[in-house]
Chain A
Amino acid sequence: GAGVSQSPSNKVTEKGKDVELRCDPISGHTALYWYRQSLGQGLEFLIYFQGNSAPDKSGLPSDRFSAERTGGSVSTLTIQRTQQEDSAVYLCASSRDRVDEKLFFGSGTQLSVL
């Protein structure tokens, strides 16, 4: 596609529910990243995919967070048993390959946990 696509753009959920956030990277980009942006904060690294494998999951804040990528393309970030502190904008980015560090970001999913 023309750019990185994320859905939904907004998600409101109740505490304790599970949510799935989707990312569709730029066509041909093999590297995919998830970042989190809390209100008034910088971007926090969550996880990195090269192809379908995730060599770096070091940023996932807890075992309630998981992510997968299939077909070397679409990725899903899942948050189980959501908590209020999970409220943030979740940004996906892709780059041409693992060596190219120029990241192209999606518009993000604004997650609100009530």
Chain B
Amino acid sequence: GENVEQHPSTLSVQEGDSAVIKCTYSDSASNYFPWYKQELGKRPQLIIDIRSNVGEKKDQRIAVTLNKTAKHFSLHITETQPEDSAVYFCAANQVGSYGKLTFGQGTILTVHP
């Protein structure tokens, strides 16, 4: 089955800096890669996703890049703000297993004012 590795496990930045979180996946057939943000005590929320036919996707301060050859994808947050502080999870799908996402272990992002 699919295996997703996520790094770093913790990330601390100053407000206004950029933050990058990286994930690698094992199954070359995977074609959907979402990122979820989970604030303390809250539900995970989808913040951005990318499909394998696209190399990059942006939504305001957030972007995701995908390298299919290397089987890795990254989340980029620019101009970080304290409200970006949360746990971020990457995930990859298993083709043919609808909704069965394999998640990374999560990255605790702390943005210091």
Min CB–CB distance B87 → chain A (angstroms): 9
A107 touching B42 by the CB < 8 A rule? yes
Min CB–CB distance B62 → chain A (angstroms): 16
Selected from B6, B36, B98, the residue in CB contact (under 8 A) with A50 is B98
Selected from A50, A56, A102, A107, the residue in CB contact (under 8 A) with B46 is A102
> Is A95 at the interface (CB under 8 A from chain B)?
yes
- C-alpha spacing A35/B84, complex, angstroms: 24
Selected from B45, B49, B98, the residue in CB contact (under 8 A) with A48 is B98
> Is A85 at the interface (CB under 8 A from chain B)?
no
**7 A-B pairs closest in CB distance:** A42-B103, A98-B98, A43-B103, A105-B43, A107-B43, A42-B105, A105-B44
B99 touching A103 by the CB < 8 A rule? yes
- C-alpha spacing A50/B97, complex, angstroms: 12
- C-alpha spacing A103/B103, complex, angstroms: 13
Please give me the residue from chain B that is nearest to A94 by CB atom: B99
By secondary structure, the B interface counts as: strand
B101 touching A45 by the CB < 8 A rule? yes
- C-alpha spacing A10/B36, complex, angstroms: 23
Mind listing 16 A-B residue pairs with CB under 8 Å? Answer: A40-B105, A42-B89, A42-B103, A43-B89, A43-B101, A43-B103, A45-B100, A45-B102, A48-B100, A58-B100, A93-B99, A102-B46, A102-B49, A105-B44, A106-B43, A108-B43
> Is A41 at the interface (CB under 8 A from chain B)?
yes
Please give me the residue from chain B that is nearest to A106 by CB atom: B43
* A101 touching B103 in the complex, CB below 8 Å, given contacts A56-B97, A91-B44: no
